[in-house]
């Protein structure tokens, strides 16, 4: 990414921060993905119980590796013997001190937009964990809510393929949503968070002026 593109991202983020803060989200702006990792980990006290949402961004920034450190009590959704055990880890996440995730889209009107398979990520962003930290690259920013919903839907096939769900949209022949009725459907839950007015600052959004995740 060249300096001009980064400058454009930075200007867009500066405008977005004003809207998010009006909606009572906490905000932080990172210089790059390494800085984003530092900011996130500085926000989490040692000994905290941490849950995470499935996220390419957390891997790309190195945040997930840091969370796995012995400094924290990580509710590890990734190393479970079967699906039922994984669901129990999801349920434990509602009692976490901190939930860390990314988002499918974030709008210039101040909404977080997400589509989920089981709903653990969407619901834990909304309620449960005491603190939520969302890390978002500038590629996630959309002008309007309609565009945010379209973006979330458009990347669902990639997420289906990433987590090896055998859905029609994740085959070699098709990458378009067909509104399937597959048991492996990843578009079961759509959430729109419009603000933190009841719990000001519970959700902090760390914005990064470079592309991250899908």
Q: pTM to 2 decimals?
A: 0.93
Query: Per-residue pLDDT for 177 more than 80?
Result: no
Give residue 124's pLDDT band: very low, low, confident or very high (50, 70, 90). Answer: very high
Report the pLDDT averaged over residues 9-26: 98
What integer is the mean pLDDT of 109-135? 96
Top pLDDT among 201 and 186 is at 201
Q: Can you give the pLDDT at residue 94?
A: 97
193's CB contacts (< 8 A; 6+ apart) are 111, 112, 125, 126, 203
Query: Using CA atoms, how far apart are residues 11 and 154, in angstroms rounded to an integer?
Result: 25
Average pLDDT over residues 54-79: 96
Query: How far is residue 18's CA from residue 20's CA, in Å, rounded to a whole number?
Result: 6
Helices (H), strands (E): how many in the chain?
Answer: 7, 10
Q: Dihedral sign for Cα 194, 59, 176, 82, please.
A: negative
* Residue 31, helix vs strand vs coil: coil
The answer on pLDDT for 174 being more than 70 is no
Q: Which positions ≥6 away from 59 have C-beta within 8 Å?
A: none
CATH superfamily placement of domain 3-142+192-208: NagB/RpiA/CoA transferase-like (3.40.50.10420)
């Amino acid at each position: 990414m060249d300096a001009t593109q980064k400058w454009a991202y930075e200007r867009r983020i500066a405008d977005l921060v004003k809207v998010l803060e009006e909606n009572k989200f906490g905000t932080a702006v990172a210089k790059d993905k390494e800085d984003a990792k530092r900011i996130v980990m500085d926000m989490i006290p040692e000994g905290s119980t941490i849950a995470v949402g499935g996220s390419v961004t957390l891997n790309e920034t190195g945040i997930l590796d840091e969370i796995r450190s012995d400094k924290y009590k990580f509710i590890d959704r990734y190393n479970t013997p079967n699906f039922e055990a994984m669901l129990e880890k999801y349920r434990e996440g509602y009692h976490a001190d901190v939930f860390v995730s990314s988002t499918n889209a974030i709008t210039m009107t101040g909404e977080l937009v997400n589509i989920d398979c089981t709903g653990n990520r969407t619901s834990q962003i909304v309620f449960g964990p005491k603190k939520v930290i969302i890390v978002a690259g500038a590629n996630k920013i959309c002008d309007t809510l309609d565009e945010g919903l379209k973006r979330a839907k458009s990347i669902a096939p990639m997420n289906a393929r990433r987590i090896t769900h055998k859905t029609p949209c994740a085959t070699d022949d098709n990458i378009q949503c067909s509104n399937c009725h597959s048991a492996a459907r990843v578009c079961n839950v759509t959430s729109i968070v419009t603000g933190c007015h009841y719990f000001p600052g519970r959700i902090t959004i760390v914005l990064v002026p470079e592309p991250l995740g899908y």
